[in-house]
Structure 1
């Protein structure tokens, strides 16, 4: 996603403010993304805000995967500023699907105002019918009163104190579709982006890491096997085939079987047994355990393994890509982008020499 976050375009723009038509498009695309997540049984999205919305090559808004709460079904995880936290979280410490709608309402306020306005202050302005104070002055003349009123109405509904009074994502989509212009201008035009502009080219593995498509990452790692270990896997102590050596290799084989069958907990256990013995060093084993940790929602452990893989094999692009995926999972987006770029450079050099 080479064209930054919504926060960058709304709050830190350097050339021109985001156009009204683009703001409406962002609202619709996000509502559709939340509806899609809900239809897939993933209605909880953690800390929805303008930093979690990113733009693709063509300037289309996309909802990043950083906020998906995979194993937090109790909804206890929340980290946003308390001034923007759903009221029920302050009462119960729990996040629900209705809490996500509340956060969507704060995003609508961002789109309207071009500023990060606390919901309570915004609701006071809405009640006092002081909509002009709420609306970004840069948007003057770009929209009709009906469009502005409808977006304010939607934001107000999303920010209701009682969760049951808020709309669901499906009704949000239905309300936002009529606001789109009949002749839709391409996103890259509204964003002022040359069509097809990209930061740097990525291989399928690099793209999978940026998308956090761990299924694709698994398929690629499984396909390449151990061919990149040549010259990197070293025996620290060569010894006769003892029972310990045989047991060590069996641990690795069991880990490979578990990894192939996507039993990632078992893969972590078996690869750990292989690594802890310390007889052999394999960057691929660390890479596979790194992805297995990611699959088990253990991004810090995954990052440590990806770093260790690169210590063993400094020019191995896969280690950089796995570091990027781990950093994305940890919410450290700037560092992740750097790791992605490093991985792409290493991969280009590798392809050039081969």
Structure 2
């Protein structure tokens, strides 16, 4: 897919943001793809987000097959940023077709706002009737208020706490088809494809050893740096009271310890299993564990899973350069070179900011 991802055009654009008509087209095409998956008895599309939507040579949006590769019959293979996870998955660890509708609602928020907004915050804005505040300022008002209101309402329905209150894919397609027809414009015009093939900008900041290793995709060097860094970058201390110190907690920490030993000894599949045991309990959080598991996935040739873990690390620690560096490597492995370079630049900026703050303090 030569024209990058929806995430690239929404969050990292340099020349021209996506016009309103194309945003409607993206929403409609995704809804159609989800309905097709449902009709083919593959309703559990995992990790639906802006990185899953790709643009073909004609500028038309396509839904990546990555979300079906992790499809499971027991509904336990769902993984996404915690802030955007369906409530029922946090409650019982299971994902249903209705959970996919929730994820679709988060993509609608991306299309409306041009940035990542946690669903709870967006719903507060919608309840307070601040829908115009929700809209992407880069659209400069070039959208139909009526269409925007319909899309906001649809997003609100998709993000309902109870799965049974969310619409099905048929309703999504019906609603969005009406909106999309009103805004039918050739996709190459809406995307500004004449600008899409410009070379990515050069790195804007000098790179640290971690940055250099990631820019070279030197996984061995990254591994050595993460082993040396250990857990010193974890902002969350997870101090536990005596009452909270249960057998489950001890088992969880033991799983992380086994993962650390396996990671150090380059037994990466074992490390993935142990770190997953630690993460699945959910009582303690650690961006370092996600970064380490991300590298393990890369070394096991699983770049899609690596990208998810790096995004999770960023969600837990938004200003952590390592989370961005790991995303850069995963995106490069997925042949998303422009996005990868953006992440390298962002990580380098965060490192420079850190160094300045250290010098001041």
Residues 286-317 of structure 1 deviation map (CA, whole Å, 9 limit, x = unaligned): xxxxxxxxxxxxxx99x97xxxxxxxxxxxxx
User: Unpaired runs of 5+ in structure 1?
Assistant: 200-299, 305-322, 340-354
Query: Hey, what does 1:67 align to over in structure 2?
Result: 67
Residues 137-158 of structure 1 deviation map (CA, whole Å, 9 limit, x = unaligned): 1223322221011000000000
Query: Hey, what does 1:44 align to over in structure 2?
Result: 44
Indicate the larger mover: 190-199 or 6-15: 190-199
SS at match of 2:54: strand
Query: Hey, what does 1:107 align to over in structure 2?
Result: 107
Query: Hey, what does 2:18 align to over in structure 1?
Result: 18
Indicate the larger mover: 127-136 or 140-149: 140-149
From the superposition, tell whether residues 150 and 71 of structure 1 become closer, same or farther in structure 2 (CA, over 3 Å).
closer
SS at match of 1:62: strand
Residues 178-207 of structure 1 deviation map (CA, whole Å, 9 limit, x = unaligned): 1124472221111111499899xxxxxxxx
TM-score normalised by L of structure 2: 0.56
Aligned length: 219
SS at match of 1:337: coil
How far is the alpha carbon of 1:169 from its aligned partner? Answer: 0.8
Alignment of 1:253-332 (within 5 A): 327=303, 332=330
Contact 1:75 1:94 in 2 (8 A): yes
Q: In structure 2, what is the Cα distance between the partners aligned to 1:145 and 1:57?
A: 31
Contact 1:30 1:63 in 2 (8 A): yes
Residues 73-126 of structure 1 deviation map (CA, whole Å, 9 limit, x = unaligned): 111122211111000001010011000000000000000000100000000000
Q: In structure 2, what is the Cα distance between the partners aligned to 1:136 and 1:151?
A: 13
Q: In structure 1, what is the Cα distance between the partners aligned to 2:31 and 2:140?
A: 25
User: Unpaired runs of 5+ in structure 2?
Assistant: 200-295, 308-329, 338-361
Query: Post-superposition, which runs of at least 4 consecutive aligned residues in structure 1 deviate over 3 A?
Result: 194-199, 326-333
Contact 1:84 1:119 in 2 (8 A): yes
SS at match of 1:72: coil
From the superposition, tell whether residues 195 and 187 of structure 1 become closer, same or farther in structure 2 (CA, over 3 Å).
farther
Query: Hey, what does 1:164 align to over in structure 2?
Result: 164
Contact 2:86 2:102 in 1 (8 A): yes
Alignment of 1:87-166 (within 5 A): 87-166=87-166
Query: Hey, what does 1:9 align to over in structure 2?
Result: 9
Contact 1:49 1:107 in 2 (8 A): yes
From the superposition, tell whether residues 6 and 337 of structure 1 become closer, same or farther in structure 2 (CA, over 3 Å).
same
Query: Hey, what does 1:80 align to over in structure 2?
Result: 80
RMSD: 2.8
SS at match of 2:62: strand
SS at match of 1:54: strand
Contact 1:57 1:198 in 2 (8 A): no
Query: Hey, what does 2:310 align to over in structure 1?
Result: none
Contact 2:106 2:119 in 1 (8 A): yes
SS at match of 1:334: helix
From the superposition, tell whether residues 41 and 329 of structure 1 become closer, same or farther in structure 2 (CA, over 3 Å).
farther
Q: In structure 2, what is the Cα distance between the partners aligned to 1:115 and 1:107?
A: 10
